[in-house]
Structure 1
């Protein structure tokens, strides 16, 4: 996990936690138990967490404090969880989301 900050000149030393395995889009990764999913993904050099439902543009971490909902992922089949607030656990299956099968714009034009 080469993307992790392990030593910082201002912060105290970072305490190591138990290493756990998890899946993101079917691929196995390692992270630390209890850290936010977003931190584990970033440490594994994953920047795109999902794709915009209408445009398909990549989305990643934006605010990292739970306000913006840009980091929504599916965890163990539960949709819409914020990766920045959800603690990592052993064996989690995390999936990104993509464009909706029917673009939202077309749905709006016929239903609003």
Structure 2
């Protein structure tokens, strides 16, 4: 088997410089390249995790990158549990990180 070398100018995976759009991340202004996923946009800010697990408060971010694992969920506007690896960021999106607690079964039993 021989290596196939593609000219850099023709590489479909090469980073593209597109139109920059604005969104907010936890209330702070941020920018993304049009067409970028929310996960990609968050990663481009330097953050590698943006959620913690309900048990153990372990950091989570992108794990599978294909929408199977739910580790990268965020809230977009009023919609919770959006998989950041699947949803493309849009101009003006309000993205918030999620940190959910497990319900206290003792409190529920008392109610």
- TM-score with structure 1 length normalisation? 0.77
CA contact (8 A) 1:24 1:95 kept: yes
Quote the RMSD (CA, aligned, Å).
Answer: 2.4
Q: Deviations over 1:50-99 (max 9, x none)?
A: 11123222111100011111000000110000000001111111011113
SS across alignment from 1:40: helix
Question: Tell me, which stretches of 5 or more residues in structure 2 are unaligned?
Answer: 1-7
Question: Tell me, which stretches of 5 or more residues in structure 1 are unaligned?
Answer: 1-7
Q: Could you tell me how far apart the structure 1 residues matched to 2:68 and 2:9 are?
A: 29
Q: Could you tell me how far apart the structure 1 residues matched to 2:46 and 2:17 are?
A: 19
SS across alignment from 1:56: coil
- TM-score with structure 2 length normalisation? 0.77
